[in-house]
Amino acid sequence: MCSRQHRGPLPDASYVAEVKRTCSALRESQKIEVSTTAIKRLLFSPSFRSSFKRVSRYHGLNFPLNFPSVLSEVNFLSVLSLLNFGSGYRVPLHRQTSRGAWDSIRALMFGLYLSSSTGQGDLLSARGMQTIGEQQIADLMSINLYVEQPHSEIPGMSISTLGGPLYDFVKLIAATLQETGKILEDLGDPDLGTFVVRSLREVDAAKHSADPNAGVDAILSKLVGAFPAFRDMAVIDNQPVYCFKKALFLIHAIVIRFGIRNTPLFQLPNSSQIPVFTDNVLPSMLVHFGVVDLSRSTAHGLHTIFPDAPDNARVASLLALPPPLPNSDSRTGSDSKLFPSEGPVLNEEQAYILRAAALDACERIIQVARTLHDDSLQEDQKWIQTITLPELDLWLWSVAKDRADYRKLERFVLKDTVFF
C-alpha cells in the first residue's frame, strides 16, 4: 500500500545532502521566492523574538509511561514516528475527537502500549503490528467509522455504512503497521526498535567523517532503504525530490530523548543540522508569514492557493505581538468547540513542491541568521545568530497553536498519504 508512492531512485549520495539539494532545486525551478528581506522581517519581528525561546522548548516527546527498558522506549518512539501522519484528516478528527492528527496518533500509541501491557499480546512487536485491525485502531482512537447515508429505497430512512474520511485514515494506519510488521518479521527483527538500535551502530563508524551529517545519514539510509512508509520522495517535472520527514523526525526524537543522559547507551548522531521535518504546517505558516512567496509559482497553480498571503498589512499583523484576548474568553464561552477550517486541498505534486520550498526556506533562514553582524544586533538579539534547524522546525510547528489568530490560519490539505 505504502510502496505505491515510492517513485524514482533512492539517493546515490549522502541522503541528507540530497534532501537539501533536491528541495532547493525544486523550489528554484518552481519560481518560489525566499528573500533575505522577508527572512529578516521574520527574525526581527516581535512575534518571533518574544516567543521563540519559550515555544521551541516543548517537543512533546515526554510520555507518562513506565518503559521496562530502553529498547521498549526506542520501539515506542519508532512506531510513533512511523505513524506520524494524518494531517489531511485534521478537521474531521477535531470534529469527532477534539484532537488533531498528532494528538490522535499519540492517543493511539498510548492505547497500543497499554493494551500490550495487560496480557493482550505485544501490539508493538513485528508480529503484533500485523494483527491490528481497523476496528481496533478506531476504538483506541475513539473514532466512529460509520457514516449515515439515506436509504436507497425508503424515503426518510438512513443507514449506517463504513466510510468517510476517518475510515480512510484508519485504513492507512492499519496498512502501514501491517506492511512494516511483515518487513520486520522477514528481516528477523522482533520489533522496529531493534532495527533502529542496530542501525545506530552505524553512527560509530561515521563519527570520524568530516561531514557533520554523516551519523544522521547512516541511520536515514537504513530506515528509508528498508521501509516504504519512510520513503517520502517523488519525481516532480522530471526532478527527484526527497523529504524523508518521518525518518528524520525519528532520528532527532532519539537524540532528544537519550542525548540528555551523561552516558548514552548507544552512539547518537549530531542532529543540529538535520533538515526540518516538512509537513503541511511549516509551509503554510511560512507562506502566511511572508517568507515563502508563491506569487510567481504558476506551473502547478500554487500562486492561487493562499490568496490573502501577499497582503503586507496582514503579514505585519501576524508578525506583531499577539492581539489581546477579548473580554469574553472564547476558551470558556460558547465558542469553546470552534473547529479548524479546511485549507486548500492540494494534489501530491503541489504538496511536495510546497514542502520542498519550506525545507529550503528554513535552510535559508538559518544561513541568514548566522550571517547577521553583531553591530546590527542589540545585546538581547544576539541569540538569533545561534538558532538551529530543529529549533526553528519546532517553533514553526508549535507557534501555529500558540496564538488564537495563528490557529485560525489555513493549512493546506493532502489526504491519502502516509508521509505527513
pLDDT digits (tens, 9 = 90+) for 73-103: 999 999 999 999 999 999 999 999 999 999 9
Q: What is the pLDDT of residue 333?
A: 41
Comparing C-alpha atoms, which of 342, 2, 3, 4 is closest to residue 173?
2
Which cell numbers hold the place of 305? 492557493
**Cα dihedral 140/144/145/146 (nearest 10):** 160
In one letter, which amino acid is 225? G
Q: What is the pLDDT of residue 118?
A: 61
**Tens of pLDDT along 226-273?**
999 999 999 999 999 999 999 999 999 999 999 877 666 788 999 999
Beta partners for residue 169, in sequence order: none
Q: What is the pLDDT of residue 58?
A: 80
Distance CA 399, CA 409 (A): 11
Q: What is the pLDDT of residue 205?
A: 76
Distance CA 259, CA 256 (A): 6
Between 47-51, 296-300, 306-310, the lowest mean confidence (pLDDT) is in 306-310
**Tens of pLDDT along 381-395?**
999 999 999 999 999
CA distances from 240 to 178, 230, 233 (A): 28, 16, 7
Q: What is the pLDDT of residue 209?
A: 82
Distance CA 286, CA 355 (A): 10
Chain mean pLDDT for the chain: 91
Beta partners for residue 160, in sequence order: 148
Q: Is residue 208's pLDDT more than 60? A: yes
Within 10 angstroms of residue 160's Cβ, the number of other Cβ atoms is 11
Q: What is the pLDDT of residue 327?
A: 57
Q: What is the pLDDT of residue 149?
A: 73
What's the pLDDT band for 337 if we cut at 50, 70, 90?
Answer: low
Calculate mean pLDDT across residues 308-327.
88
Beta partners for residue 42, in sequence order: none
Q: What is the pLDDT of residue 151?
A: 73
Between 7-16, 56-65, 74-83, 111-120, the lowest mean confidence (pLDDT) is in 111-120
Q: How far is CA 238 from the centre of its chain?
A: 25
Residues 6+ apart with CB under 8 A from 290: 38, 41, 42, 309, 310, 312, 315, 319
Residues 6+ apart with CB under 8 A from 4: none
Distance CA 178, CA 129 (A): 5
Calculate mean pLDDT across residues 144-165.
80
Q: What is the pLDDT of residue 389?
A: 97
* pTM, 2 dp: 0.92
Between 36-40, 55-59, 212-216, 268-272, the lowest mean confidence (pLDDT) is in 55-59
In percent, the amount of the chain with pLDDT more than 70 equals 94
Q: What is the pLDDT of residue 332?
A: 40
Between 3-7, 24-28, 300-304, 351-355, the lowest mean confidence (pLDDT) is in 3-7
| CA contacts within 13 A on the Cβ side of 183 | 20
Q: What is the pLDDT of residue 154?
A: 84
Q: What is the pLDDT of residue 120?
A: 61
Q: What is the pLDDT of residue 330?
A: 41
Q: Is residue 39's pLDDT more than 50? A: yes
Return the sign of the alpha-carbon dihedral for residues 349, 397, 365, 35: positive
Cβ contact 267:200 at 8 Å: yes
Residues 6+ apart with CB under 8 A from 297: 30, 31, 32, 303, 353
- Please provide residue 414's backbone torsions phi and psi, each rounded to the nearest 5 degrees: -135, 115
Distance CA 67, CA 193 (A): 13
Q: Is residue 334's pLDDT more than 60? A: no
Beta partners for residue 242, in sequence order: 233
Q: What is the pLDDT of residue 264?
A: 67
Cβ contact 165:92 at 8 Å: yes
Q: Is residue 70's pLDDT more than 80? A: yes
